[in-house]
Amino acid sequence: MTQDCALILDFGGVVTRTLFETHDVTERALGLPEGSLTWLGPFDTTTDPLWVAMQNREITERDYWLKRTNEVGELVGENWTDMQTFVRRARGAEPELVLRPEARDAILRAKKAGLKLAILSNELDLFYGVEFRQRFPLIELFDVIVDATYTKILKPDPRAYELVLAELNLPREACVFVDDQKKNIEGAEAVSLPHVHFDVTRPAESYARALAMLGL
């Protein structure tokens, strides 16, 4: 099953390496001493009780990142009140450094096989900025980008998944959706969209599973 099929990817954490994995990039970009950032989210939950609270849905994902934004802003002596400031300052200068190698391999393999490629994101341009997206490696290979920055429809709202399916003009059973957040996977389940819950600690395995579901 490769013809008339699509791989639908979340962006942050799935296509890009997480902010947990790029502390060195962040520290260098912001002029912080090495080792300044110690919270590691899913890579070591003992360092990050706030992440555990978010996974337990005691706080939202945006609450989590707003807190981290405030903290990092304080480290550089500034008052940061929105995550886009954090992301753009930490990652904007070198987009190629945050592309997940496993994502590069999977995207190229899918494209070579003739699959359609889509991004379904809650905050691609909101957090990263239009300039970052335009300079991001391989972005030109995607046939469809549905970004809630503009649609205002956030996953796991069923309408978000229906939007990307409509743009692809494919039946849901011909697509596989990949996301690292459980609530967004639950949204896909609710609309019967085949899916893979992406494990950021095992990215190669997650991509292999998604591609296998699409016949690769």
CA 186, 180, 133, 124 dihedral sign is: positive
The answer as to whether 91 is a domain residue is: yes
Domain of 197 in residue numbering reads as 6-17+99-213
Tell me the DSSP string of 14-43. TTBPPTTTTHHHHHHHHTPPTT-----GGG
- Give Cα separations from 211 to 2, 8, 178, 195, 205 (angstroms): 9, 11, 10, 11, 10
Are residue 67 and residue 124 in the same domain, yes or no? no
Are residue 154 and residue 121 in the same domain, yes or no? yes
Domain boundary among 31, 66, 95: 95
Are residue 103 and residue 84 in the same domain, yes or no? no
Give the count of beta carbons closer than 10 Å to the beta carbon of residue 34: 9
Are residue 83 and residue 136 in the same domain, yes or no? no
In this prediction, residue 22 carries a pLDDT of 94
**Three-class DSSP labels, 39-91:** CCHHHCHHHCHHHHHHHCCCCCHHHHHHHHHHHHHHHCCCCCCCHHHHHHHHH
Weakly modelled stretches of the chain, pLDDT under 50? none
Number of domains in the chain: 2
In this prediction, residue 95 carries a pLDDT of 83
The answer as to whether 1 is a domain residue is: no
